[in-house]
Amino acid sequence: MKQHAHHQHGHHHNGHHGGPGFANAKEWAKVFDDPARDEWQRPNEVIAALGLTSNMTVADLGAGTGYFSVRLARALPDGAVIATDVEPDMVTHLQQRAAEAGLTNLRAQRATPASAGLAPRSVDRVLIVNVWHHIDDRVSYARDLAASLKPGGRIVVVDYRKDAADGPPPEMRLEPQRIIDEFQAAGLVALQHSTQLPRQYIVEAREP
Ligand SMILES: C[S@@+](CC[C@H](N)C(=O)[O-])C[C@H]1O[C@@H](n2cnc3c(N)ncnc32)[C@H](O)[C@@H]1O
């Protein structure tokens, strides 16, 4: 289990910067879309924390194989999901998954490590699950994200607590306060959300 956990987050050998560590979507789907994940990931609680209305546009950054993207698309029958990833194979997998599930409101697009590639004032929510610790220049990235928010928009980051039994290597994990500071340095107001997940915290940021 521990060994599997280490592998689970793509930090083994080379996964740190979204490089070849996440290249094979079909393999990662077994991990990311493992039904046992629901028990600790609590996707419904995460989605509830986003405060959605059915016509919103939500970006799922570093969407991977689409664990959250498909759930978001179902929660937004009158809205849209933009799922991004730096890995071309993840983007292809996301497109196939959307087509197979008949989710016409889910679109996948490639991001670069330094930019999500979202248009200015185009999204109501940005969800970033288990990805923030992979980003290099996070303050500059946060500034870029702030520009992509529509009025009233929010950015929601879900990542691992230092004391969580499972997750990325402890040295890669970020304290929630550090993420809050990064968003504040980017000119946003940020706070920790009251929802506590078994292994993760939720940080929320918005324009002042
Ligand atoms: C641990 S997986 C999480 C996937 C998904 N969010 C989930 O919760 O199932 C991290 C994903 O982030 C992607 N990634 C890493 N750095 C990224 C960046 N700068 N921008 C977008 N995606 C990135 C990786 O390719 C990988 O698919």
Ligand 1: which residue has its CA nearest to atom 12? 62
84 ligand 1 Cβ < 6 A = yes
Residue 20 has pLDDT above 60, yes or no: no
69 ligand 1 Cβ < 6 A = no
Segment 74-96 mean pLDDT: 98
Q: How far is CA 39 from the centre of its chain?
A: 18
Residues 102-119 as b/e (b if ≥16 CB within 10 A, e otherwise) read: ebebbbbbebeeeebebe
Structure tokens at 49: 């924390």
pLDDT value for 9? 54
User: 83 alpha carbon to ligand 1 midpoint, in Å?
Assistant: 10
Residue 141, number of CB atoms within 10 A of its CB: 20
3-state secondary structure the chain: CHHHHHHHCCCCCCCCCCCHHHCCHHHHHHHHCCCCHHHHHCHHHHHHHCCCCCCCEEEEECCCCCHHHHHHHHHCCCCEEEEEECCHHHHHHHHHHHHHCCCCCEEEEECECCECCCCCCCEEEEEEECCHHHCCCHHHHHHHHHHHEEEEEEEEEEEECCCCCCCCCHHHCCCHHHHHHHHHHCCCEEEECCCCCCCEEEEEEECC
Residue 2 has pLDDT above 60, yes or no: no
pTM of the model: 0.93
Which is higher by pLDDT, 144 or 171?
Answer: 144
135 ligand 1 Cβ < 6 A = yes
What confidence category does residue 21 fall into, taking pLDDT thresholds of 50, 70 and 90?
A: confident
**Parallel/antiparallel/unpaired status of strands 80-85 and 149-160:** unpaired
pLDDT value for 197? 97
Structure tokens at 150: 């529509």
Segment 145-163 mean pLDDT: 97
Share of the chain above pLDDT 90, in %: 87
Residue 182 has pLDDT above 50, yes or no: yes
What contacts 202, CB < 8 A, 6 or more positions away? 46, 49, 156, 157, 158, 192, 193, 195
Mean pLDDT over the full length of the chain: 92
18 ligand 1 Cβ < 6 A = yes
